[in-house]
């Protein structure tokens, strides 16, 4: 898997947020020195549940990405996860793709 792609856990929440946060922030750090377009890809293709802690870590990652002028692309999100992002008005903070990364 590419260094700028982070696979989210099946359940992104209180139990898994710390590890996911570390992985995502490490991937962002590797983008800091990139000369090409900076984009962190978060693969949500196997993620079935996201709770408030999971949403919080996604927002934190997006804010950190903005600090280094990078974007965050969410790929493979289920309809339920996409609906949650829309309902919480977080969908406009991310680039949303339905297909998982190749």
Residue 48 belongs to domain with CATH number: 3.30.750.24
Q: What is the pLDDT of residues 34-73, one digit of tens each?
A: 666 689 999 999 999 999 999 999 999 999 999 988 999 9
20 three-class SS: helix
Residue 15 is part of which domain span?
5-97
pLDDT of residue 20: 98
Please indicate, yes or no, if residue 102 is contained in any of the structural domains: no
Which of 29-33, 87-91, 94-98 is the least confident region? 29-33
Question: 7-10: long-range contacts (C-beta < 8 A, 24 or more apart)?
Answer: 7/43, 7/46, 8/42, 8/43, 8/44, 8/46, 8/47, 9/46, 9/47, 10/46, 10/47, 10/48, 10/49
Please indicate, yes or no, if residue 13 is contained in any of the structural domains: yes
Residues 6+ apart with CB under 8 A from 71: 38, 39, 40, 65, 95
- How many folded domains does the chain comprise? 1
């Amino acid at each position: 898997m590419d260094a700028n792609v982070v696979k989210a856990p099946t359940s992104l929440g209180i139990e898994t947020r710390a590890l996911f946060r570390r992985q995502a922030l490490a991937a962002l750090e590797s983008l800091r020195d990139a000369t090409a377009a900076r984009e962190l890809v978060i693969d949500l293709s196997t993620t079935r549940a996201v709770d408030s802690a999971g949403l919080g870590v996604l927002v934190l990652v997006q804010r950190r990405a903005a600090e280094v002028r990078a974007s965050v692309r969410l790929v493979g999100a289920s309809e339920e996860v996409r609906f949650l992002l829309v309902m919480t008005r977080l969908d406009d903070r991310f680039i949303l793709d339905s297909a998982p990364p190749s």
